[in-house]
Structure 1
Amino acid sequence: MSAPIDLELKKAFSELQVKMIDTQQKAKLADLQIDQLTRVQKLAKLTNAEISTLSDNTRLYEGVGRMFILQSKEDINNQLMDKQKTAEEKIKELEQKKVYLERSVKEAEDNIREMLLSRRTTAQS
């Protein structure tokens, strides 16, 4: 009777290990994406601050691929604000995803602990 219990525990541990590795990889990816979005957000903020110091009749160009397009100061300002807002929203989503991943791993660990405790109490009885 000991062998089926050991196989069951071994299977549960291997599933937990796979889940933890997968979750850690996803969390690292989320961290990298958050870092990248933070850089995009800072760049947009700094660019916006620099543009705001320019006079309204200054000609501003937006780089698109290998060419530059004449844009109004207001249009560029709106684009930069949109970039900041989009980056902020994505950062929030990624942070929520990370919390969910961490919670799911913790639940899986708790389930295995409960399984171990129930096996110990069954074995002692």
Structure 2
Amino acid sequence: MDELQKAALVRAVGQAIALRRAATGLSQEKVAEALGITREAVSRMETGVAVPTVVRLAELAEIFDCGIGELLTDASNRKIDQARRILELLEGLSAEKREMLMSVIKQLADGLVDR
């Protein structure tokens, strides 16, 4: 993994943290208080300026009532993780809606292929 990929991953993990925080209805202040850190430290994690440790990711997962893997998988640029995320998005949809979504994904992918 080169430096650009690492930086993109750190930003994506931060974005996943911010999305989970927002989904749980918590402010940066509330998360900071639960972690015993400053609001600015939470902001730095969310913006990708600071890299959360594995222990910090575990603490965040507990606060957000999710798995550590979810914070990482949502942020991952690995094809297998992205495929799993698509699978999660398909769950709960009718066969017709899954087919429609797959058609849209295929059209997008075909349009984005470097030729």
TM-score after normalising by structure 2: 0.27
TM-score after normalising by structure 1: 0.25
Structure holding more strand per residue = 1
Question: More relative contact order in 1 or in 2 (CA 8 Å, sep 6+)?
Answer: 1
Structure holding more helix per residue = 1
